[in-house]
Chain A
């Protein structure tokens, strides 16, 4: 009788785990195609933060129409095993979400490599940091200082 109870428990657990859905697909917000004739004004290299790897190059520049663009070059790499990462242009090397004037939210991404983010207006000269941010946990993965 007790053995039957244990076997029933195992069967229930295995059946339950086999029926669940493992994946939830969420498309990235960043759908901008690569920009042609990109002119670099500032550039920086990512340094990792909080023990998590982020590497590669960030740039601030303009396209042929004079629109302002933040670019993550094709060497950009971060940890997406956790889900998604949000990219910010910031006045501070540590993102301050409580100060809405100190950052521009560029996009949510979930792939490495080249990304271009068009800005609606030219940023002031004090926006000198591109930040890779894990929004659910509220921690920074990396930062590139633009010079």
Chain B
């Protein structure tokens, strides 16, 4: 059945005011870290055909760490770590576990004035629980698999560019996700495109808006992968973010995310307004 994922069932992580999908790298020894909490509560699910299905309420909460460290002025190490995830339907007990760990190296290919271009490689390691069966509250024999990771090794490759205009900036990226197999079953590769615009309307405050579309290289070939492991999930998501820096190094961030059947249609995904709040440290 149903992916969240994923999340989809397997969580959508949009780092706030990080450089993840931009043309910028951290300067040498520069650090950016963010610890955030996000929560999704949804009953509107789009199945692999793109049809809307109403289910019982699905909830996913994630404590997530995102960090960047400047190895050199042109090379940045990035970690995306869903430290702890909670998945449940309103009808089931909750299951807990870490998500899949993504380690990324981003390299600045060139920079002409304020127009940097980067390429990054980000292997995603299946550190999450590959199977996590949540039992129904009314009948423990009824259960559903709500893994906190997809159980599969995959690699994202991203090309990104940015341009700043004083207190404003724009970024754009294209990314390809080479996916492998779980239990001998092959996932479909994914690709994404996105744009972002940011602005600092007052001192210490930044806001931005992002639009991102994900496409699949074909339909899922395996029902066992589709819902449970988020195979061939497509979507178009829009987010608005705000970051306020309340001291030299510390700040707070908030994100609101929603989506629509715009560029890429919803397939194999739960959709509902999605919030996250976090604490940021930057040096």
Residue positions of A touching B, CB distance < 8 A: 2-3, 6, 9-10, 13-14, 16-17, 20, 22-24, 26-29, 50-53, 79, 81-84, 86, 108, 134-139, 141
A137–B1 contact, CB under 8 A? Answer: yes
Please tell me if the beta carbons of A136 and B225 are within 8 angstroms of each other in the complex.
no
Find chain B residues with CB under 8 A from A22 CB.
129-132
The interface of chain B, by Cβ under 8 A from chain A, is 1-2, 29, 31, 45, 47-49, 51, 53-56, 58, 65, 67, 69, 77, 79, 81, 83, 89, 91-92, 97-98, 101, 103, 127-136, 139-145, 223-228
A84 to B133, CA, bound (A): 10
Which B residues are CB-close (under 8 A) to A26? Answer: 133, 135, 140-141, 143
11 pairs across A/B with beta carbons < 8 Å? A6-B77, A13-B101, A17-B128, A22-B129, A22-B132, A28-B141, A51-B47, A52-B227, A82-B227, A83-B133, A138-B89
- Cα(A134)–Cα(B133), bound, Å: 13
Closest to B147 in A: A22
B143 near A84 with CB under 8 A, answer: yes
A29 touches B141 (CB 8 A): yes
Given contacts A3-B69, A20-B97, A82-B1, contact A137 B89 (CB under 8 A): yes
When A10-B79, A51-B53, A135-B139 are in contact, do A79 and B129 touch as well, CB less than 8 Å? no
Given contacts A81-B223, A134-B1, A138-B56, contact A6 B29 (CB under 8 A): no
What CA separation (Å) do A86 and B144 show in the bound complex?
Answer: 11
Report the 6 A-B pairs with minimum CB-CB distance, sorted nearest first: A51-B47, A81-B224, A136-B144, A17-B127, A83-B144, A138-B56
User: Taking CB as reference atom, which chain A residue is nearest B2?
Assistant: A137
Contact A135 B1 (CB under 8 A): no
Are B91 and A9 in contact, with the CB atoms below 8 A?
no
Q: How distant is the Cα of A6 from the Cα of B55 in the complex, in angstroms? A: 40
Known contacts A22-B130, A82-B1, A86-B139; can you find 5 more A-B pairs with CB under 8 A? A17-B98, A17-B127, A50-B1, A136-B89, A138-B91
Contact B1 A24 (CB under 8 A): no
Contacts A24-B135, A136-B92: A52 and B143 contacting too (C-beta < 8 A)? no
Is the CB–CB distance between A27 and B141 below 8 Å? yes
Closest to B98 in A: A17
Bound-complex Cα distance A82 to B103 (A): 29
Q: In whole angstroms, what is the CA distance A134 to B134 when docked?
A: 13
Alpha-carbon distance between A83 and B134 when the two chains are bound, in angstroms = 9
By the criterion CB–CB under 8 Å, are A79 and B139 in contact? no
Q: Which residue of chain B has its CB nearest to the CB of A138?
A: B56
Point out the residues of chain B lying under 8 angstroms from A52, CB to CB: 1, 47, 223, 227
Residues of A within 8 A of B45 (CB): 137
Q: Which residues of A contact B67 (CB under 8 A)?
A: 6, 9
A104: shortest Cβ distance to chain B, in Å? 15
Complex Cα–Cα for A33 and B145 (A):
27
**A86 and chain B: residue at smallest CB distance:** B142
Question: In whole angstroms, what is the CA distance A52 to B128 when docked?
Answer: 25
Looking across the interface, which residue of chain B has its beta carbon closest to that of A141? Answer: B1
Q: Given known contacts A51-B49, A82-B228, is B56 in contact with A136 (CB within 8 Å)?
A: yes
User: Which residues of chain B are within 8 angstroms of A79 by Cβ–Cβ distance?
Assistant: 1, 223-224
Distance in angstroms from A74 CB to nearest chain B CB is 19
A77 and chain B: residue at smallest CB distance: B223
Chain B residues closer than 8 Å to A82, beta-carbon distance:
1-2, 144-145, 227-228
Contact between B129 and A136 (Cβ–Cβ < 8 Å)? Answer: no
Q: Are A138 and B141 in contact (CB under 8 A)?
A: no
Quick one: closest A residue to B101, CB to CB? A13
Task: Please measure, in the bound complex, the distance between the C-alpha atom of A27 and the C-alpha atom of B133, giving whole angstroms.
Answer: 13
Q: A6-B77, A13-B83, A26-B135 are in contact. Are A135 and B97 (CB under 8 A)?
A: no
**How far, in whole Å, are A16 and B97 apart by their CA atoms in the complex?**
9
CA distance A22 to B149 in the complex (A): 11
Task: Please give the distance in Å from B245's CB to the nearest CB on chain A.
Answer: 19
Find the residue from A2, A79, A82 having the highest chain B CB count within 10 A. Answer: A82
